[in-house]
Amino acid sequence: MTRDEYRQMKKQKERERRRKEREAWEAARGPMDLPFLLLAMLLLTIGIIMLLSASFPSAQASKDCRYDALYFFKRQAGFAGLGIFAMFWVSKINYHRFEGLARLGIIVSIALLVLVLIPGVGITRNHATRWLGIPGTDAGQFQPSEVAKLGLIVYFSQSISKKREKMRSFKEGFLPHIIILAVIALLTLREPHFSGALLLAGIGAAIMVVGGIHWGWIAAGVTGLASASYLLTFTDVVENLMKAIDYNAARIGVWKDPFGGDLATQQGEAYQVIQSLITVGSGGLLGVGLGKSRQKFMYLPEEHNDFIFAVVFEELGLVGATLIMILFAMLIMRGFWLAIHARDRFGSLLIVGVTTQIALQTFLNIAVVTNLIPATGIALPFFSYGGTALAIQLVEVGVVLSVSRQIPAPKGG
């Protein structure tokens, strides 16, 4: 048998496998998972309400928003409607069709991350070049890192599910995936977008761990993470290193003691962290009431974006914020439950990727708001302002719902 004949035979077998999978999916397709859907929609609804409450003062005072108090709310609600439509549409698609788009998705993701770094092409805000679109307006602007999250999830899920037992080998399993992950993370870090790079690395690592890489690499990763956490918390090594490369060094010092600097520091690098802590603390146990936050009136920066959960603390109090965190925890646990019960490896890894993304973003955002970790500039899923990000999040929810259609209903249910 010639090499061309062998390749043709492999392609024929792959087409036959996919045909059988499609037929099996159509035959076994059931209803989408209602608990996951309801939790996602509940968080989205609360998020839209809190966005309206947090954003109207700054929108009403901004010339860019045409002094329209509902500016951010109307745009976010529009993208939410578009995202919900896309979510239900994706939920009815056989998720195995995404396998054919995996390679194209990762290529497009890398190309967009490279494109945003080209001078004159990427859009710069606050000393970071993270956006593509029309300069000077929010219309059509998006962050390629948001697209890269979905592209990475689909590609890693497809590649790892296909390789199966080869994932334990270094050359065929670990190495090619870690190279792709490193390229995407480094391109994102170059923007600079540290939190985005951290999130992408976490998503990829989670899928690789669940996909079956050798336990030695898992142990090395855990050891490295623990060592980095120790150096960051108890030594000045990381801070001195960041000073040497002139990258966000001030954030480490601010995180360790936001109130410890001079007046210039407190009104400069530490201002956002200090205002966030004041906002969180002023809510007390039960909060000041929905819509009654005082800090959102030009005191707290990014009140409708990265620091929206501080407004949640102030208006709904510790009780309300805790209830929202419980809803996030329930959504995350339900996602991993669906991953465990998924019909096949590809579907399971898809859900692991999406759920890990939601879990990491939620943890990192709330940790930044409460100064548990240094400020990283990461959005809270379903809450923070950002139309493209919200639409993609809802598409990812649709992917989870598509996989859930293949999970057999419990006996007697």
pLDDT tens, residue by residue, 7-52: 777 778 777 777 776 666 565 667 899 999 999 999 999 999 999 9
Instruction: List, in sequence order, every residue forming a beta bridge with 117; answer none if it has no partner.
Output: none
Helix, strand, coil shares of the chain as percentages rounded to 5?
70, 0, 30
Nearest CA to 48 out of 75, 70, 73 is that of 73
Q: Give the pLDDT score at 258.
A: 81
For 299-316, how does the pLDDT look when each residue is reduced to its tens digit (9 = 90+)? 999 999 999 999 999 999
Residue 244 pLDDT level (bands cut at 50, 70, 90): very low
Residue 26: is it exposed, middle or buried by C-beta count within 10 angstroms (0-12/13-18/19+)?
A: exposed
User: Which residue, among 107, 98, 28, has the nearest Cα to 399 in the 3D structure?
Assistant: 98
- CB 112, CB 148: distance < 8 Å: yes
Task: Please name every residue paired with 132 in a beta bridge, in sequence order, or none if there are none.
Answer: 142
Q: Are 102 and 160 in contact (CB under 8 A)?
A: no
For residues 229-257, give the mean pLDDT.
59
Residue 246 pLDDT class (50, 70, 90 cuts): very low
Confidence of residue 259 (pLDDT cuts 50, 70, 90): confident
Across the chain, mean pLDDT equals: 86
pLDDT at 222 over 90: no
Upper half-sphere CA count for residue 74 (Cβ side, 13 Å):
7
Checking if the pLDDT of 109 tops 70, the result is: yes
Q: Which helix (H) or strand (E) holds 194?
A: helix 194-211
92-106, 181-195, 204-218, 260-274: least confident range: 260-274
pLDDT at residue 131, as a whole number: 81
As a whole number, mean pLDDT of residues 395-407 equals 94
In 3D, which of 25, 90, 39 has the Cα closest to residue 355? 39
CB 379 within 8 A of CB 306: yes
The burial of 33, by beta-carbon neighbours within 10 Å (0-12 exposed, 13-18 middle, 19 or more buried), is given as buried
